[in-house]
Structure formats: structure tokens, C-alpha cells
Amino acid sequence: MAEQKATNVHWHDGEVTREDRQKMLKQKGATLWFTGLSGSGKSTVAVALEKALIEKGHLCYRLDGDNVRLGINKNLGFSAEDRAENIRRIGEIAKLFVDTGVIVLSSFVSPYRADRDQVRELHAQSDMDFLEIFVDVPLSVAEERDPKGLYKKARAGEIKNFTGIDDPYEAPQQAEVVLNSHEMSLEKEVEVLLEEMSKRGII
């Protein structure tokens, strides 16, 4: 975790609790953390799930890797250190959303297990639901899809530190849900996720 640099700072509790906000929204805040190779289908299923949840009357918000790097994390690159800080910041943002009672759909390659585990622990410390969703496809499938042309550039040496090519991807060992997007329809993936959320009392 990042070092606390500021001194003489203290948490200020309010009079409205997380439970108050969840009761108002009629749902339980939670983070669904989609991880997998670029091109695995993380963003695609998150977009579809977001739509399904909204249609069912559930407030949710989608955090996407590229979108975040165009804003709050625009000063970060793709070194191991920057990747770790990228995920740390997203974890903190997700936690804030969950505290308001919102369901967070977070789609990031997040290749390092330790970084994802830190976000999981951050949620656990505040008794918040965190579901790791491993969108699992073979590298060959992700590379064949290559929706942004990134694998082609990485193979040509135009992109360095690209996950799956010259940087590792550490697959989850105990993900709450595993989606094989090359073998499942998008509708089935959304169905599986809605069932899991219902089983856990999130919706």
C-alpha cells in the first residue's frame, strides 16, 4: 500500500451510514473487479452488465482502464510501479462508490495478483463486498481479436511492457467468478453475474 505522507490528518465520521444509503437505494454497494488480458472481453461484459443492472433499477458505475487513464491516472505509464499505483487509486475510488451504496464495475487488465489482492484487502477492511471476475481467454484468442491493434504493435516492438507479450499476467487463483468469453455468449455471462450478485444479496 502507498505510504501515508500527510500528517495531522484524521478521519471525520458523518451521521449518515453506509447502511442508510443502501436502504435508500434498495441495494448493497459492491465492487465487481473484471480482470484479464487485453481483448479478453472485460469491458464488453461490464458494459452489458451495467445496462442490465440499470434496466433492473440498480445504480451502478463502470470504471474502465482507458477511461481512467485519460483522467485521474493520466500521469501514469505502464511500468510495474505505475501499474500498481493505477490499481491502488482505482481501488480507493471503487471503495468510495461502494460506501455510497453504488455497484462498481471495474474493468482493468490489473495483471499482478498482489495489486488485486491489495484492493480486495482494502474492501475487506471496511466489510465491503469485492468480487474478482476473471475473464479468461487464451492469449491466442485475445491476440486474434486485438480490437485496438495493440498486440500487433507489441509484436512489432512499438509498445513495451505489454501484458501477455513482454510483461506477465498473473491469473487469479480464487476468483469468485470465471468467465470463458470465447466459449460463452455475452447473454450467458451477464446471467451468471446477475445470479452471483443475487446469491450474495447485492441485488
Q: Cell digits for 134?
A: 476473471
Q: Cell digits for 132?
A: 474478482
Tell me if 113 sits within 8 A of 103, measured CB to CB: no
Eight-state DSSP code of residue 72: T
- Give the number of residues written for the chain: 203
CA distance 37 to 111: 8
Q: Containing H/E element for 32?
A: strand 30-35
In the set 107, 110, 126, 185, the catalytic residue is 110
**Active site includes 40?**
no
Contacts of 66 (CB under 8 A, 6+ apart): none
Contacts of 189 (CB under 8 A, 6+ apart): 41, 45, 48, 49, 179, 181
Does residue 111 sit in helix, strand or coil? coil
Residues acting as catalytic residues = 110
